[in-house]
Structure 1
Amino acid sequence: MNKFWRCGAGLALLASASLAFAEFPDKPVTLVVPFAAGGPSDKIARDLAEALRKPLGQTVIVENAAGAGGTIGSTKVARAAPDGYTLLLHHIGMATAPALYRKLSYKVPEDFETLGLINEAPSVVIGKPMLAANNFAELRQWIASNGGKVNLAHAGLGSASHLCGLMFQSALKTSMTPVPYKGTAPAMTDLIGGQVDLMCEQATNAVPQIEGKKVKVYGITSLKRLPLPSLKDAPTLSEAGLADFNVQVWHGLYAPRGTPPAVLAKLNAALRVALKDPDLIKREEALGLTVVSDERLEPAGHRKHLEAEKARWSKVIKDAGEYAD
């Protein structure tokens, strides 16, 4: 009798859990952005949250948990309940943090479930408006003739501009003087004012300054040119002489490790619907972003891409010898 009671109780519990997963989500979902409000990742998150609302049938709340190069927000999600109600939207920094930070309170990718890549965007190499070089060939010569005196601004350790700058120096086989800032805005202000020489910044942030002719643009970091009016004449760095140079800033969606497969499947299905939203696509393209539609939209494809990027950037960062405490 007791044996049958335990069996019945177990089946009831299993049925109850299955029903709970089937009803997911039955309350708002929180989307954590590990950066401050107003930045490109925050904007992407808010656009995605709106596009996810219909397929999920619930409100998606964006929560900014900024600090330490995105590691504070990532830690928050890694330690959250694995129920699908706390998600993380993170950029390429997810792949670079393990190499940048000597002490990291989570493991990549082990502590996360990959849900799919969202978008990707190239960066652009830009210079102060009074720089003598007018194209990439002239810039390359100017860098060579000025040795280590060239100042290269970036928006902080682990930022897209920092990572792109490291790859740019590696491709040129030269070293520049890094000038770190607390964000893109102050770095861009000093570049416009001529206090620093160069910056390798995400196109999303640089296009307004290029359109206003406040900075000079020397090249795009993707293998294809960007179809934006302000960049129609800007070559890729690959065609300008740095063979196969390809640096893309990408964003992906994550859940805590151990989130039930049924919940993960629902979240991925909702992401797929959201990324086909015409309004979302239009907003992304206006920022120079390309919405992902290939195998990286699958959780397995996302994970494979994450691991490949982690290996790639680990070498670049270690060769540069730049670490956080």
Structure 2
Amino acid sequence: MPPRKKPPAKSKFQARKNADPKVHLAPYLNYLEAECGMAHNTLSAYRSDIVQFLDWYCKQKPRAFSDVDLKFLSKYLQHLNKRKLAATTIARHLASIKLFFRYLVLEGILAESVADLVNSPKLWNYLPKVISPEKVNELLMAPCKRDRYPLRDRAILAMMYATGCRVSEVVNLPLSAIKLEEGYARCIGKGNKERIVSLNPVAVAAVEAYLNHERPHMIKRNQAEQSLFLNRGGKQLSRIMVWNIVKKNAARIGCSKEVSPHTLRHSFATHMMAGGAEIRALQELLGHANIRTTQVYTHVDHSRLKAVHQMYHPRG
């Protein structure tokens, strides 16, 4: 009998085609953290989106990533629609998938990304909810003696409104980042980008009162903690705790249940626009990477538009 021919060895590309698609998950997340500099919360969101996509992917007919086409990805978007997810959530899922496929291209696993050809669902332009300057003043005074740490709670509220910081940026502030005499703080935003935020006199006074009267007692339980805002155990305050502080004090002054820490950020931006702030300056203060994110506040400030109309229109 003639000698039996050996089957040709699988190429590197064929081996990749037959590999478990989830083997790319860990390297992809490392890429987002190490090379893209994503913040922890953003990284968690992207991880959740891709895990859901890969779980669904593995339940479909086996195919290589190189065989994925528009029809296949559209089927996944239909799957998300059937779950009755909001358009904004579906758009975020799609953004996560697009970045994942771009990573596969960078790694040489794919020649090109078909995901970039998929259109995001159209989104309504939801206007952010804000509260008036008068209500903000009431909110800052709402913490009282019934609270365990009223000075800390007031300092948090004053800091968030004075700077427009995200709640994650506030809880991650180290004590060394606060310069009360100079009236500013250094915060780390999305993508680990540092920016300077100004502290108004109200915020400076509130933080000073907290540092002088409450934090020294809290830090006794954990001398090594460097975070500015602490819980009763002397550890860094959590985002959930800040959420509860805002909700509790907003309810005291009769605000809507929809008021959240982000409402203070929206209110800061809207009131800045009403005061005449330039949109580029506001973009820097908020730490927005894209000016389009900041432009939403130009639609919110109806009072300023009305004043401009009255000032410059010949029949104003």
Same fold (TM over 0.5): no
Task: Identify, as 1 or 2, the structure richer in strand.
Answer: 1
Give TM-score, length-normalised by structure 1: 0.28
Q: Could you say which structure has the greater relative contact order, defined with CA pairs below 8 angstroms and 6 or more residues apart?
A: 1
Task: Identify, as 1 or 2, the structure richer in helix.
Answer: 2
